[in-house]
Amino acid sequence: MAADVRRSSTHGSQDFGARHPTHLRGLNIDRVLSIAIDRPGTFTRAELIEASGLSAPTIGSLTSHLIGTGVITDLGTAPSRGGRRPSLMEFNARHAFVGGIDIGPTRTRLVIADFRGTRLGHAIVDTPASIPPPEVLLRLAEAFKDLLRSVRVPGSRLITVSVAVPGIVRPGQGIVAFAPNLSGWHDVPLRDILKRELRTTVLIDNDVNLALLGEHWQGAAQGHETCAFVFAGTGIGSAILIDGTLHRGHHDMAGEISVMCMGPQYVGRDFGTHGCLEALAGLDALKARWTGRAPFDSVQGRASNREHWIPALLEAAAAGDEQARQAVTETARFIAIATANVGAVVDPSIVVLGGAMFAQAELFVDEVRRIVHQLSRTPFEVVPATLGKEAPVVGCLLVAAAEARRQLRKRIKVISA
């Protein structure tokens, strides 16, 4: 995420992108700040000179300015290695803070992190039900402020909060257009409401998009610049990363595979109820394939508990229950066909499988992988998510930290002008 500043000499005395001295100083500050942020430990002025290509006087002036603003901390001198004792510095990751909110149909995850995205505190709260969306957001904002107080982070130093929503969002407008698993969520101005309550910059995105970013940053998709995430739970969706950038589509609906038609027999029928992927392969369809065919036995009886019925189904399938095995196979077949189709369009190096259906469910993953390999003409990996339910909130922290960097660079350059 570091800025790309072109230099015409090893001392940074000229920059063809600079229009005047003030602009040049801003570019140089941006470069030094990027290097400092990306250094996990301490560094010296000599190391900044080597990494930046800027002159010693320039580095001295810029670091003095950054120390004065509190962005860089002066740690004093280090032991001599046969010459002048070097001055040690480090980036002050607690100069400012970021947050993440992952809104789920029943539970919402809240997290506070430092400037680099390192967590300082987290909480899981119930998502309020049966109240209007604005009231839901007000309650979540209060819970988030409680978390800020618990980790002793002043609200004034919170730069950015990124929010994950299980639905169709308009990131540029800050609006949740439709969230089918959140009651009454149509055209909700989420960004404006939370911005007013939290008094900071608020970014919003679809939870599957953020889950993919999280897996790409810290999970199963690390090192894969063109990849996809297929989510299967109460709802079904996917996210696509092409050359390291999220592909959103013209209507911000790229990856909405939940509405994918799964066969010609569904054309002209009640497509949304009977023919789309989510209707055929979501958790409700899976549960109906299992519980709707035979009386519960002692294992299947646990299906009434939402937390336990998927493990119970897998346990029954592993124990030889033919109905359970067939329910898994039929559901996995639909998801595998959709995954193979995503692969044919995107040509990814890896597809990550996430959501409740794949959480600790090797049987589902193996079945989807087997069918995908049968259908795909170009090979790609099919792997389970490693971050689990944390993937969207990890993606929130990545996005929030990137926005915080942008704001800090802009503010520092304005101060130095």
260 closest CA partner among 340, 360, 354, 368: 340
CA gyration radius for the chain?
Answer: 25
Q: What pLDDT was estimated at residue 24?
A: 80
Boundaries of every domain in the chain: 1-92, 97-212+392-405, 221-385
Domain 1-92: assigned CATH number: 1.10.10.10
Q: What pLDDT was estimated at residue 371?
A: 96
Query: What are the pLDDT tens digits along the chain (417 aa)?
Result: 433 322 333 334 344 454 566 778 778 888 888 899 888 889 998 899 999 999 999 999 999 989 988 999 998 876 666 556 778 999 999 999 999 999 998 899 999 999 988 999 999 999 998 899 999 999 999 999 999 999 999 999 999 999 999 999 999 999 999 998 899 999 999 999 999 999 999 999 999 999 999 999 999 999 999 999 999 987 899 999 999 999 999 988 899 998 888 888 777 766 556 678 998 898 888 988 987 544 334 333 333 344 468 888 888 888 888 999 999 999 999 999 999 999 999 999 999 999 988 987 888 999 999 999 999 999 999 999 999 999 999 999 999 999 998 888 888 766 655
Q: Write the class of the CATH domain 97-212+392-405.
A: alpha beta
- Distances, alpha carbon 240 to alpha carbons 169, 197, 227, 355, 394, in Å: 15, 32, 6, 16, 17
SS3 readout for the chain: CCCCCCCCCCCCCCCCCCCCHHHHHHHHHHHHHHHHHHCCCCEEHHHHHHHHCCCHHHHHHHHHHHHHHCCEEEEEECCCCCCCCCEEEEECCCCCEEEEEEECCCEEEEEEEECCCCEEEEEEEECCCCCCHHHHHHHHHHHHHHHHHHCCCCHHHEEEEEEEECCEEECCCCEEEECCCCCCCEEECHHHHHHHHHCCEEEEEEHHHHHHHHHHHHCCCCCCCCEEEEEECCCEEEEEEECCEECCCCCCCCCCHHHCECCHHHCCCCHHHHHEHHHHHCHHHHHHHHHCCCCCCCCHHHHHCCCCHHHHHHHHHHCCCHHHHHHHHHHHHHHHHHHHHHHHHHCCCEEEEECCCCCCCHHHHHHHHHHHHHHCCCCCEEEECCCHHHHHHHHHHHHHHHHHHHHHHHHHHHHHC
185 closest CA partner among 197, 168, 202: 168
Q: Are 372 and 329 in contact (CB under 8 A)?
A: no
Q: What pLDDT was estimated at residue 225?
A: 97
Look up the CATH superfamily of 221-385: ATPase, nucleotide binding domain (3.30.420.40)
Asked if 1-92 and 221-385 have one fold, the answer is no
